[in-house]
Chain A
Amino acid sequence: MYRNDTVLPFFGILFGVALWYMAYLDGLHIARLAGHQPEELSVGQLGLITFGIVFFLWGAIGYISAWLEGGELRPGREEAEGGAAPMVVVFVLALLLVGLSGLFVNAVLYGLTEGPVKSSFMGQLAAAILLVMTLLLVVYKKFFVDDEVLVEDEHSEVPW
């Protein structure tokens, strides 16, 4: 197993999804016992969802590392590929980012002047902005940043 292997990340994501599904089933069970759909999540559901998120993120980070650096790290320098296609992707993502942030400002102004804005809408906008920023960073790192792998002793217990 190499440091950037996708075996552990795979199981991380699998466990994450399984925990989310357990939380969903828990909700169905509680609804059946109560005779109606509860208005809030139970403590058990919150715990399952929290650990689901942790495992999912753990796995996602592992997959991103494997994609960025390759499954097996070999000592040496690696030049960034660059190229026109990643450039276009970066430009499209940048346009999307400024568009979304402009929309966010618009929504804030709308909330101030005309009436309430759904908080779920604001939350989804903010989440989309962060996601696009992450994608930008990932694409930039993958295609425009040179990499160098040095040989050193294994210190870490974390598999990537």
Chain B
Amino acid sequence: MNQNIERIEVFLDESKEPLQVLTSPPFKVTLDTRQIPDGPHTLRVVTTFKGGQVEEEIIDFEVDNLPSPFVDGLDDGQQVRGPVEFEVVTGDYAAPKTGGGLSIAGAVLSAVLVLGLVWFYFAFAPSAKEIVKETGAAPVEEAAAAPAGAGDAAAGKAVYAAQCASCHGANAEGGFGPALAGAPIVENADQFASIVKNGLGAMPPFAQLSDQEIADLRAYLGSLGGGATEAPKEEAAPAPAAAAAVDPAVMSEGENLYLASCAGCHQPNGAGVATFPALAGNKNLADKDLVIDRILSGKVPMPGFAGQYDDQQIAAIATYIRNSWGNDFGPVAPDEVAAKR
């Protein structure tokens, strides 16, 4: 604070009498603008210092306590037609402010809080997870879900029947080759895989089998246990009842061929996997021509089998898939296959 100030006089407009004289701090002035008319005014602040020096400051301002009425609904230069309704609004600046309530910050904060809580609930609550599980979860395929190292005994049985049973016996009890049920070699995954892939002694290599198939095979043999003479019967379902009009011998031949060439993708139970379509309950199998064409020519990524199997064998496969797993579409004759070649 400047100690040299002797006094400060505040004058309004041209008045000779000061509005207020201030001699000591705080130099605060109160001016009630309702006591003076609306319009331009001048405030003159004259400061007198102890040495007699005088400094004058002039401030222009405008008082607007009684605002002019405002027309709402009709603008300057606006084109109008027919009856026009508008309102003359007069503001009362002196009236206390109404409303208020929530400040903008409060509104934003509460909105973020409420919406955030809802978001959090749907993102992380266990009950919301149930919603996703029930409506959105894709059916999990057993084969796809199993970790690569663990084999599927059911799939292994199919591989075994197609590739190994002729030498090692239908139930791995041994024959031309040694018994595998409960054999110690089954316990050692690496050695087992090596023998299957490279062959051993009189046994030829089976390099065409994938790691997964070998794992399945091992799982199947492991499931037989020591000295097993009987394979698990869970796969006994295919067809005879459904295919009364179908020759059981053809069905049996078809099943063997199916397990050898088709089951890898379409699965031994015809359920399909991933993008390989299910054959069980597939209505397209009713179309005999489609079935024969597809087996003969394939369709990317499925290979054709025209060069691999003769008419009799393809007819057997078609008959088998059309009359298994609940399908009941009747047999396919070798002549029909020959006609499509």
Which single member of B111, B120, B121, B287 contacts A36 (CB below 8 Å)?
B287
B78 proximity list for chain A (CB < 8 A)? 76
Asked if B102 CB lies within 8 Å of chain A CBs, one says no
Are A106 and B124 in contact, CB atoms less than 8 angstroms apart?
A: yes
Contact bitstring A72-109, B, C-beta under 8 A = 1, else 0: 00011100000000000000001100111111011101
A75-B289 contact, Cβ under 8 Å, with A37-B284, A98-B118, A99-B122: no
Cα distance, A76 to B80, chains bound together (Å)? 10
Are A106 and B128 in contact, CB atoms less than 8 angstroms apart?
A: yes
Asked if B189 CB lies within 8 Å of chain A CBs, one says no
Chain A contributes a number of interface residues (CB within 8 A of B) equal to 29
Which single member of B122, B124, B132 contacts A117 (CB below 8 Å)?
B132
Q: How far is the CB of A115 from chain B (nearest CB, A)?
A: 5
A116 proximity list for chain B (CB < 8 A)? 137-138, 140
Are A121 and B136 in contact, CB atoms less than 8 angstroms apart?
A: yes
Chain B residue at minimum C-beta to C-beta distance from A125: B136
Within 8 A of A (CB), among B40-67: none
Cα distance, A75 to B78, chains bound together (Å)? 8
Asked if B2 CB lies within 8 Å of chain A CBs, one says no
Are A102 and B123 in contact, CB atoms less than 8 angstroms apart?
A: yes
B16 proximity list for chain A (CB < 8 A)? none
Are A76 and B122 in contact, CB atoms less than 8 angstroms apart?
A: no
A76-B75 contact, Cβ under 8 Å, with A115-B145, A117-B138, A118-B138: yes
Are B138 and A103 in contact, CB atoms less than 8 angstroms apart?
A: no
A117-B136 contact, Cβ under 8 Å, with A35-B287, A101-B119, A106-B122: yes
Asked if B131 CB lies within 8 Å of chain A CBs, one says yes
Chain B residue at minimum C-beta to C-beta distance from A97: B115
Are A118 and B75 in contact, CB atoms less than 8 angstroms apart?
A: no
User: Chain A contact residues: over half helix, strand or loop, or mixed?
Assistant: helix
Are A110 and B133 in contact, CB atoms less than 8 angstroms apart?
A: yes
Asked if A122 CB lies within 8 Å of chain B CBs, one says yes
Chain B residue at minimum C-beta to C-beta distance from A110: B132
Cα distance, A99 to B286, chains bound together (Å)? 45
Are A110 and B136 in contact, CB atoms less than 8 angstroms apart?
A: yes
B289 proximity list for chain A (CB < 8 A)? 35
Within 8 A of A (CB), among B70-111: 75, 78-79, 111
Chain B contributes a number of interface residues (CB within 8 A of A) equal to 32
A98-B122 contact, Cβ under 8 Å, with A35-B289, A115-B145: yes
A103-B145 contact, Cβ under 8 Å, with A37-B283, A117-B138: no
Which single member of A34, A37, A95, A105 contacts B123 (CB below 8 Å)?
A105
Q: How far is the CB of A4 from chain B (nearest CB, A)?
A: 19
Contact bitstring B269-305, A, C-beta under 8 A = 1, else 0: 0000000010000011011011000000000000000
Which single member of B118, B129, B133, B290 contacts A99 (CB below 8 Å)?
B118
Cα distance, A122 to B128, chains bound together (Å)? 15
A37 proximity list for chain B (CB < 8 A)? 283-284
Cα distance, A39 to B277, chains bound together (Å)? 10
A107 proximity list for chain B (CB < 8 A)? 132, 136
Are B122 and A103 in contact, CB atoms less than 8 angstroms apart?
A: yes
User: Which of A100, A101, A110 gathers most chain B CB within 10 Å?
Assistant: A110
Which single member of B123, B145, B277, B286 contacts A106 (CB below 8 Å)?
B123
User: Which of A39, A98, A99 gathers most chain B CB within 10 Å?
Assistant: A98
A105 proximity list for chain B (CB < 8 A)? 122-123
Are B290 and A35 in contact, CB atoms less than 8 angstroms apart?
A: yes
Asked if B308 CB lies within 8 Å of chain A CBs, one says no
B132 proximity list for chain A (CB < 8 A)? 103, 106-107, 110, 117, 121
Within 8 A of B (CB), among A1-46: 34-37, 39
B68 proximity list for chain A (CB < 8 A)? none
Asked if B188 CB lies within 8 Å of chain A CBs, one says no
Cα distance, A149 to B23, chains bound together (Å)? 61
Cα distance, A147 to B287, chains bound together (Å)? 63
A-B contacts, 8 of them at CB < 8 A, read: A35-B290, A77-B75, A94-B115, A98-B116, A102-B128, A106-B122, A106-B131, A115-B140
Chain B residues close to A by CB (< 8 Å)? 75, 78-79, 111, 114-116, 118-124, 128-129, 131-133, 135-138, 140, 145, 277, 283-284, 286-287, 289-290
- Of all A-B residue pairs in the complex, the 9 with the closest CB atoms, nearest first, are A102-B122, A121-B136, A102-B123, A116-B138, A98-B119, A102-B119, A105-B123, A36-B287, A36-B284
Chain A residues close to B by CB (< 8 Å)? 34-37, 39, 75-77, 94-95, 98-103, 105-107, 109-110, 114-118, 121-122, 125
